[in-house]
A and B are shown apart, each in its own frame.
Chain A
Amino acid sequence: MAEALTDDLVEEILLRLAPDDPVSLVRAAAVCMRWRRVASTRSFRRGFARRHRKAPMLGFIANLRDGHEGDRYDYVARFVRATRFRPFCPERRHRRALDARHGRVLLTTVPWKPTLEVWDPVTGELRELPSMPQTVTSWNAAVVCAAHGACDHLDCRRGPFLVVLLDSGPEMMHLFVYSSETGAWSEPIFGPPSPTYGVEMVPTALVGNALYFLIDATESILKYDLAARSVSVIFMPTGFTSDFAALTTTEDGVLGFAKLEKSTVEDGGLLGSSRVKCELRLLSMHPGPDGYVTWAENGSIELGSLLNVDASIESDYVAFAHGVGIFFVGTEDAWFSIDLKSGRVMEEDYGNGDTQSIVPYSSFYTPGSFS
């Protein structure tokens, strides 16, 4: 019987619980002390992540404006569940989520002087970063495990991390790197001249050792190489115009972007009526000679029929969950997640308030994080 199973066999069984069902692992750990001990070792955490490879999207952070009637101006970063997992403190008031990676969420205080915080929703750990090294204007920031290149990112949430801050000025773009090991910001790394339209405050993409930031009203992308500490600029496709784009990545490490495009089409009615068609267009970047890149169209998805909504889809925001390949788009009164692989579409309930943007959060959950 199960009582007689060795620790090794209990581990083998618990390793096979589905990562998108964190309830089962928690309940297994509550069965008896031995099971909890087995499930909370470092080797179990690593084995679990290694076995399932792809961290599930536990939820996403909705950046909301919330408040009482007539006072809807409080900024809130609210954790919205995609699984049963709920962080100890799911709502961070006067905060906005900028980015999430390797189990950590990067928050900034809003609307006053920005202070950055790194939050791990699974362990509940919150770390406030020292003041930014300069007064920022149009800026964005990213969080990443510090052992880039060497780490498999299966269980590095307790390890050192970096925060990369990109500010559009003065005159030249400035990058600063905060290291959790030294607890300090680096000297500035200078980039190209300040872009006309500044830096987009949308989640970055990590491909290999490079972090990509959207800049200049989504006309170009800034690439920061973490290993070489070098900065370069990549231009979006010629003639590209869009209200908004989201950076994407594929499983085999190709950078891309997604944008929403609206067009008016005849709907074939007798009276010559027309309707607005809203498409999610996907492009991917491929390196060419002399450092130039080419962009390839990877198809498009018509959202009107997929979401089964009228053409009230907002074209100024798309979010993408790296690793799991899930897109988020919003209409005037709802947000939808679209899983490209399975074709599953879900209306997301983020509670009260107006969602401004979404930062997906993917991570393994194992009971090693019990207090």
Chain B
Amino acid sequence: MEVDKGKGEAEETRKVAEADRDTVTLKSSDGKLFEVSKEAAARLSTVLAGMIAGGSIDDNGTDLKQIGSEALENVVDYCNKHANSIPSAALISSSISFNTAPFKEPEEWERKFVDRLSHDALFDLVEAANFLGMERLLDVTCHKISEMMKGKSPDQIREVFNIKNDYTKEELEEIRQELAWAFYDD
């Protein structure tokens, strides 16, 4: 089942949002509107939960100026998919601080959800999840990115992640010498 609203469906989406209080409408930085389950949004995002509770949700589309339409579409897609999946005990039990909670493996559908994203889309989604306080989505996306680093050399990681090397040649050589086990097969 694909919930793929918001691509040129602004008018229709708005009408649905007004008629149906079970959803909220979110507006991306580039002005596109997306509709998302209110229950799922409140459960999955601390920021949206706060806005819903505080009444600062705009029926004409709540402005999320930091999030582009592609990332917001993925956020909404994730929320709606989550609303439709059977929540596992692992996902609903965590009320402890995110940074300290033990890691729970992504579920099969969450894995598929992030696997299909391009690198750019994945990094944008991490930032969106972080901005919206979506612990579980942050967990799943960060886990995916950490998996992308596995087995890669620092050079390959820099290439995939588009990061500039700011070490001097000597500094890098020193690290390689000191921790040779991490760089050379033996």
Contact = CB atoms under 8 A, between A and B. Distances in A.
A271 interface: no
A97 to B, nearest CB: 20
A85 B178 CA distance: 12
Interface residues of B, number: 42
Given A16-B103, A27-B152, A47-B99, A2 B123 contact: yes
A5 B126 contact: yes
A292 interface: no
B81 interface: no
Contact of A32 (B101, B130, B160, B166): B166
Interface in A348-371: 370-371
A371 B100 contact: no
Interface in B147-165: 149-154, 157-158, 160-165
Interface stretch (A7-15, A174-182, A209-217): A7-15
A32 B149 contact: no
B145 interface: yes
A3 B182 contact: no
Interface residues of A, number: 40
Given A13-B146, A16-B103, A16-B143, A1 B153 contact: no
Contacts of A85: 181
A110 interface: no
Interface in A29-77: 29-35, 47, 50-53
A2, A26, A35: which has the most chain B beta carbons within 10 Å?
A: A2
A24 interface: yes
Contacts, number: 116
A52 B146 CA distance: 14
Given A9-B130, A51-B100, A27 B162 contact: no
B87 to A, nearest CB: 21
B161 A1 contact: yes
A21 interface: yes
A8, A21, A26, A370: which has the most chain B beta carbons within 10 Å?
A: A26
Contacts of B120: 1
Contacts of A29: 175
B96 to A, nearest CB: 10
B179 interface: yes
Given A17-B149, A84-B181, A8 B130 contact: yes
A4 B142 CA distance: 15
Contacts of B154: 27-28, 30-31
B172 interface: yes
A358 B91 CA distance: 40
B109 interface: no
B110 interface: no
Given A13-B145, A47-B100, A3 B163 contact: yes
Given A9-B126, A16-B143, A84-B181, A27 B103 contact: no
B123, B149, B152: which has the most chain A beta carbons within 10 Å?
A: B149
Contact of A53 (B102, B166, B180): B102
B165 A1 contact: no
Nearest to B171: A33
Contacts of A86: 180-181
Interface of B: 99-103, 119-120, 123, 126-127, 130, 138-139, 142-143, 145-146, 149-154, 157-158, 160-167, 172, 175-176, 178-183
Interface of A: 1-6, 8-9, 12-18, 21-24, 26-35, 47, 50-53, 84-86, 88, 370-371
29 contacts: A1-B123, A2-B160, A2-B161, A3-B161, A5-B126, A9-B126, A9-B127, A12-B138, A13-B126, A13-B142, A13-B145, A13-B146, A14-B146, A16-B145, A21-B150, A24-B146, A24-B150, A24-B151, A26-B179, A27-B182, A28-B154, A30-B172, A31-B157, A32-B163, A50-B99, A50-B102, A52-B103, A86-B180, A370-B178
